[in-house]
Structure 1
Amino acid sequence: MKAGGASTDLDHRRIGPRLRAVRQERGLTLAQVAAGTGLTKGFISLLERNETTPSVPTLFKICGYLGVRIGSLVQEEAVASLVSRQGRGEDLFGGFGVTDILLTPLDQRFLQVIESVIDPGGTSGDEPHSFEGDAEVIYMLKGMLDVTFGERTFRLRRGDALTLAPRDPHSWVNPSPRQTATVLWIITPRSL
């Protein structure tokens, strides 16, 4: 896709090498990044070599630890960017029964919007996750989603929105045995 002559395509093959470059610029070892993010050294090594693709929360966690915005991994900031329907159908980040599609250009520094289609029983994983960000809004477009935040579980249905602090551990699951859920995640990355 193009807008104002600047490409806004996500080339996930750029993420790994750029993460490695940022890590090395900061003088950090794989072991330090692993310890700081709770990920394994092997996973980070695979990611840097483009042999695996991170989930959205994992990418936010790594970027938060390194002190960079996700958009800085792909391209320079554009004045205006269009993300067209035709160019956004790729499963960018993977997950457990979830297809994540980034709707905002990665160079968007102040807001990231991700659309997720979550299969019945799809989940964020066995453990609650967190990442560096100022705010996270979960907006339900279709279906249901149970979001556990602290000791509380919120059942979201079409039209519901939940705002939370992404730094605090949380998890989610599509509780429906038959219906997919479609969710918008609206995230303000960590203020630097």
Structure 2
Amino acid sequence: MNKEMLSKRIGQRLKRIRSDRGMTLDQLAKKTGVSKPMLGQIERGESNPTVSTLWKIATGLHVSFTAFIEDEKPNVTVIKRDQVLPIIDGCDFQVFPLFPRSKDKPFEIFSVKLEAGTDHTSEGHAQGVHEFVIVEKGTLNVKIGDEVYVLERGDGIHFPADQVHHYINGSSSEACVFTNIISYEWTGL
């Protein structure tokens, strides 16, 4: 799926969710903290939202991050990572939605690439959302509150994700790749 198709799908899904709930764009803007003009552009497929913007919308609507992009699923799913179109926030943070959340699966799995010397701040998710992170390549620093956790290849971390958290790649030469599992099991979302 190319970028234009992805933007259109996100827009169609957002409009459908908003319409199903009988919400106006003004109401959606108040609920999500995303401006009405930006929401309109996203719904029309004219804007490709950043990861942060999509998270704000998903959190405000109490839906999964991938509710805007997921396909109907067969019984067996094979994912080829090199065929998954990333959602890009800037040019240094790429999120590959490998296994989007579905009605029968209260979690989603992403592969994330964080370029050398960069960091990404993730706003807190809904109360009860948990993240599980496993480093596949490089070194990742995860900052939660005032605490920084250093993870090497093969290391993992689990934490309640309802607070601001930061992913930091302190390497000056190597990208960090990690698997991120987001669990909604405790939220009822």
| 2:97 corresponding residue in structure 1 | 102
CA contact (8 A) 2:140 2:169 kept: yes
TM-score of the pair, normalised by structure 2: 0.79
Q: Are 1:176 and 2:171 matched, yes or no? A: yes
CA offsets, 1:6-37, max 9 Å, x none? xxxx9452121110121122122323323322
Alignment: residue pair count: 180
Would you identify which runs of 4 or more consecutive aligned residues in structure 1 move more than 6 Å?
none
Q: Report if aligned partners of 1:123, 1:174 keep a CA contact under 8 Å in 2.
A: yes
Q: Quote the offset at 1:52 in angstroms.
A: 2.5
Contact 2:138–2:177 (Cα < 8 Å) also in 1: yes
Q: What is the SS of the residue equivalent to 1:20? A: helix
CA positional deviation for 1:136: 0.6
Of 157, 170, 174, the residue aligned with 2:152 is 157
Opposite residue 113 of structure 1, the aligned amino acid is I
1:24-81 deviations in Å (ceiling 9; x for gaps): 2212232332332233333322221222323445434322322333454443344332
Aligned with 1:130 (options 107, 124, 132): 124
2:40 equivalent among 42, 45, 48: 45
Unaligned runs of 5+ in 2: none
- Closer/same/farther in 2, CA of residues 42 and 173 from structure 1, 3 Å limit: farther
Among candidates 11, 16, 24, match of residue 11 of structure 2? 16
Q: Letter of the aligned partner of 1:139 in structure 2?
A: I
User: Which deviates more, 172-181 or 62-71?
Assistant: 62-71
Contact 1:82 1:105 in 2 (8 A): no
Asked if structure 1 preserves the Cα contact closer than 8 Å seen for 2:101 and 2:107, the reply is no
The answer to whether residue 188 in structure 2 is matched with residue 191 in structure 1 is yes
Matches of 1:99 and 1:43, distance apart in 2: 21
* Maintained 8 Å contact 2:108/2:181: yes
Structure 1 residue aligned with 2:61, among 58, 66, 70? 66
CA distance in 2, matches of 1:87, 1:36: 34
Once the two structures are TM-superposed, the CA of residue 145 in structure 1 deviates from its matched residue by 2.0
Q: Report the AA paired with residue 23 of structure 2.
A: L
Greater CA drift, 94-103 or 35-44: 35-44
- Gaps in structure 1 of 5+ consecutive residues: 2-9
Structure 1: how far apart are the matches of 2:161 and 2:49?
Answer: 17
Cα distance, 1:168–1:85 mapped onto 2, change above 3 Å = closer
Cα distance, 1:82 vs structure 2: 1.9
CA RMSD of aligned residues (A): 2.6
